[in-house]
Amino acid sequence: MIRHLVFLLIIFSSDLQNFFYYGNSLSPDGLTLLSLKSAIDNGSTIFSDWNEKDSDACNWTGIACSNVSGESHVVGISVSDMNISGYIPSELGSLAYLRRINFGGNNFHGPVPDQLFNATSLHSIVLHGNNLSGNLPPGICSLPMLQRLDLSNNRLLGSLPKELRKCGKLQQLNLCGNEFSGEIPAGIFAEMVSLVQLDLSRNSFTGKIPEDIGELKSLSGTLNMSFNNLSGNIPRSLGDLPLTVDFDLRSNKLSGEIPKIGSFSSQGQKAFLNNPLLCGFPLRKSCDDVSVSAESSSGDQSFSPWSDDENAEKGVSFGLIVLISVADVVGVAFIGSVIVLVYWRKQSCHGCSCTRNGKLGGNERGSLCSFPCIFGGFSSGSDSEGESEKGGGGGGEGDLVAIDKGFRIELDELLRASAYVLGKSRLGIVYKVVLGSGVPVAVRRLGEGGEERHKEFVAEIQAIGRVKHPNVVKLRAYYWATDEKLVISDFICNGNLVAALHGRYGQPSLSLSWATRLRIAKGVARGLAYLHECSPRKFVHGNIKPSNILLDNEFQPYISDFGLNRLIEITGNNPSTGGLIGGAFPYMKSLNSEQANNYRAPEARMSTKATQKWDVYSFGVVLLELLTGKSSELSSAAASTSAEALNLVRWAKKGSEDENPLTDMVDPLLLKEVHAKKEVLSVFHLALACTDEDPEIRPRMKTVSETLEKVRP
């Protein structure tokens, strides 16, 4: 009996020792994190590897640690998009070395605890897309290192605390999609000198827009205050913001004339829509001249020594005469300007420039409009009128029509030429055709349909032919017959961006320097900005991706396949095996099945009408490929992880939210160029802005191009 009791006592003491051993083995940071596990529903399932028997929490899901003074401490908690329900425990404020929190895309509820801001090392708080409620804690700016605050898409309410002015180092403030109300306090923005992003949209703010917002000299991207109840005039001080800032002031109660100074000049009308009392450029609504004249007249009368009715009538009559005279002068000036503009466009050698500084195309007609590796059998001074040299009217049966006057080719020469298949897609088959003079051109075979739509085809192809920009592949001619349709364009000799970045046919990829990648990005941005802003129809490309970006020997980029979607709608995409050209060129069946396109904007899956913001999104994905060296088209087997292959954008955004080091995000080849790290980071942020899920928030290509032009190689 005594031996049995002794044996039980030994076992009990051993279990007790193990209890104290395991209970004391976990670090203080780990014990604090267990409060989060307890605060969420099904915490033991979601955080099954958060084990109190571990020595520290550094290997737990969503936890990042760093060595501080020889000890390992928790510096990051990232549990975004994990479908978590629960509340944010106040105990997290005791994590002295915590730098970043990302709880975005979950279902956390309740208030943001004041005690959280006792973690004074915090510089990033991301809580978007939850169900948080209550007021914005005034102590939030007691964090001396806070740089990012994203509380968007919650149920936070109340007014903005004036203590926000203490957030001097804050760079991103996103309060979109909450229930904030009251006036936006004046005087808080003047001290937020580092603020880069400001989004107060989709709340219930009232009153006037504070004047001191115009003092945010570091602001970039979009100033978003849309879908509120803001009223009064738009302050002229907003014109002092950087020219690259896009305004979004839609759906408020703003009134008066839109100022015409500074950054207002670069805004589109969409920035001011759904403000019934707003008027002036760029809205298609002039201000009430009658009321303005009445106010000025009443002002003049108050200073007039005469007050009798007769003199008053004379004053009104004189004012009307002045107004009519001014209107006549303005009308004549407008007609004269149109004539001068038409003449200027006719005289322009290539129509490269559409801005005063030539950023979208260049300001030197000779040197910039010609590059050494473009072949098309034309002279550098050739002009494009969009007219046929022959067969311009009628049915166009069997006609080879030159779009560019400097392009000289006979049908017999085309038939005798050597042809090589370059590729095939749903847009037809592309051949490299070497003419008798040794000059190669690119020939694309379209479908054999559309006989009854010949005039429509000619109108479209002439519109495409009028697009003249050094970063857009030039259309030179077309052939139309009942059973054969061809388009002939410049041949660009150095392949496409896919091959340059990722290799081709078993060959390794090229080691593109930062200067080369930036040159490619700037060229494509200029070409797209030209298509959007300056081309005859303000075109949309609709299919921007690396395979449609061609390169010459100097790595100047050229946007290809522009306008082909519309032509395919007319002719179809099944080339004839016969026809006049069918026997001369090798036949290869084109691809009808459309593969998944990871460059298309999310809204493209729900709409068939392409928009310019589709192109912005696609360009953003291309930018990410240039920066990361990863592909959105390669299979998961070829990529380092399947997530990268399936969605490069999501991978990049998550890395940004988690504040992963730049070394983990960009192509290792770029890291060798130490001088470029700051520029790489700025372009990375631009790519994320271009790939925003909300098309209204994405910048215009003109803004993107201007921003890239400021980045040094």
Average pLDDT along the chain? 76
DSSP type of residue 507: B
Q: Which residue has the higher pLDDT, 284 or 489?
A: 489
What residues have CB less than 8 Å from 553, skipping those under 6 apart?
Answer: 372, 373, 493, 494
Using alpha carbons, list the distances in angstroms from residue 628 to 144, 344, 504, 665, 683: 32, 43, 18, 6, 11
pLDDT (mean) for 613-619: 93
Closest residue by Cα to residue 242 from 694, 709, 713, 706: 706
- Residue-wise pLDDT for 353-408, tens only, equals 443 344 444 433 333 333 334 444 333 334 444 444 443 333 445 678 887 766 77
The pLDDT value recorded for residue 306 is 30
- C-alpha 647/C-alpha 133 separation (Å) is 32
DSSP type of residue 496: B
627: amino acid identity, one letter: L
For residues 196 and 170, the answer to whether their CB atoms sit within 8 Å is no
Q: Which residue has the higher pLDDT, 70 or 298?
A: 70
Per-residue pLDDT at 110 exceeds 80 = yes
pLDDT (mean) for 240-259: 89
- Residue-wise pLDDT for 9-33, tens only, equals 444 444 444 444 344 578 888 898 9
Confidence of residue 529 (pLDDT cuts 50, 70, 90): very high
The pLDDT value recorded for residue 351 is 37
Per-residue pLDDT at 464 exceeds 80 = yes
Cα of 325 vs its chain's centroid, Å? 46
- Residue-wise pLDDT for 564-600, tens only, equals 777 877 776 554 444 444 444 444 444 444 455 788 8
The SS3 of residue 421 is strand
In terms of Cβ atoms closer than 10 Å to its own Cβ (0-12, 13-18, 19+), residue 451 is middle
In terms of Cβ atoms closer than 10 Å to its own Cβ (0-12, 13-18, 19+), residue 376 is buried
The answer to whether the pTM exceeds 0.75 is no
